[in-house]
Structure 1
């Protein structure tokens, strides 16, 4: 069987995803942000196209790094999570039967018992289709919303994340798969010998357990992660079943791919145990020329001030006050995401720009063209072992996902690069499909 790519959709419970001007496009819907039908619809679109899954990016607050406040984000329609994804995902689960469903939750801000309980409940409810996008949080504003003055340093956050994941896995094993007896005649509901305390006691977290929730159809949620720093890569090599990568350019993607795959063996894991999915946005037109016009129109809607605010939020530095020559790492301290810093540096190099200029021009990775051209570009990266698939961020919602599902997916299927039907029922089963030629 030919190796096949994985596709996961990037979502937000707000007006826009990664594109600063997406909500302004005439085809973007806004009035339905608070309506269950919005999320049911996109879930059905993705499942009809046989996507592995989707996940909601999230922030536990309002970005207020840019100019010391949240005015730009609120006024210009930045990446705002208006709804808690944990309240939206059950709606999407009810509307589908195969699509994977992911939530972003922080190991720095949430206790492992709360994480394990919430995520496994949803995993049981969805019959084994949940993913946990593990973050350690990247802004002090989030810390303050949870009673902390500031975030711990990045290495300490990952040390804590290791412990939190360990504790969650113990809690998720509280019930053996065959614990239920359900014998009305004898009056035995379940076998207590098959329910266990976890008794996790570490440097950062303690939890006794057991959970009151049984194993799900896939035993426990899929672990997803997006760290690009050295410490983040070590964490990913140990735990991640899916990595959300943000490199720009085939050579950079290949280098990241080979680095992560090479680290897995030290943890007793195989290369196929971790799917590396590169983030991109696809702007599809009937022809390459039409697609280019669409992209130019859309990108002109991206307000420069909001682009700057978005960069400020992702790198952890107020770029409105940044002077070229300063160290972003020094200014960010414990804030910001290394992947975003790396991406900004790539934009600077590719355009022969200063950091300040690059911050004002930054847009998410884009592939532009006809369905065949988009498929060509995805195929090239996939076959060159730059990735195992893609995280597709919508430029406009819901039309980006609709056009990709309608026009590009059939082309990938025709080439044998993507499934025509689900073989399994759980997200973990989807991720194991087509991992190697045979």
Structure 2
């Protein structure tokens, strides 16, 4: 028994947080979107993938750093910045996450249908029970970390196999990245909303806080965790696009263009491809369901005492609710997913704006800023130098004794905020169209 215990997979909490963020971003919707857009735009879609990766880097590094150092979850920090902002952020995150979770459960059902040939509703029920079982474990976070790592490895390995079999023309993809042809803005906005927006923005950082990895003293670990999660997510996006692009580049006939992802695996591996695709889709649905439900509960616990006292049970209720709704409906209404996507488009600039405001104007909310006020006063007592920053910034900005916020990171965050704010405006048009 001792030997068996030693061989168990041990996942450091920091790596677990990184994987939770990366795998939450790569759910069934992400796989479906990538396959469909790759079929439509070919090599040019590589530009959308790269832009989404750049936005992801700018957003996640800022979110992990501010939330990690402050030791406060997004909604709690937002409430201290602007009264009521935390409640507004929570409503948007939860609303989008609950709807998307139905789609995640549907993905697990479809995955088991392709893998084992069983009815998708039965597959969803089995998957829901497995996900619930994880949160019944004695050491919940340990179980979550292990499951996310194992399923993530399965997902990445199968997608790499698709790339190896199809041997995509990387040179064409590189050209498409810098010189896309006929690529509208919609695929870029959709990919960003599905991989960075909504609950995904905060999943890794909230897991980091639950693991107790917070404060200025843990800055290097926080930064390393964010980079690890971003690296895993970026690798997954790149290989997934290359795998589907490799199928398209060969001129293979897709059996069902409405299911471009499944048809690509079928074209690459033959009949076995559908089973492999089923395993990939099921793993994607499971990881996204777990990450979605966990992150949603971390938002609700600030405003609902029962969730705070019975966190694991709250997560179980969220998983069970999504499973029951899908089984009852038999499918996820497209209008609901469009609505949830539009909501996620609104969440990203709101939450990111609050994070950047803390870096700019509310440095007192970052742990370590107030604690070393005496040394900070010493810094300010030195001979005055011309302030190189705009007058609306605090005079001691970037000069506090214990913690300095990188200007490059702040600039990247502001650029990402401008882009996501535009995306939010575009998302508003989707909300109106689904009710016609």
Higher relative contact order (CA 8 A, sep 6+): 2
TM normalised by structure 1 equals 0.24
Higher share of residues assigned helix: 2
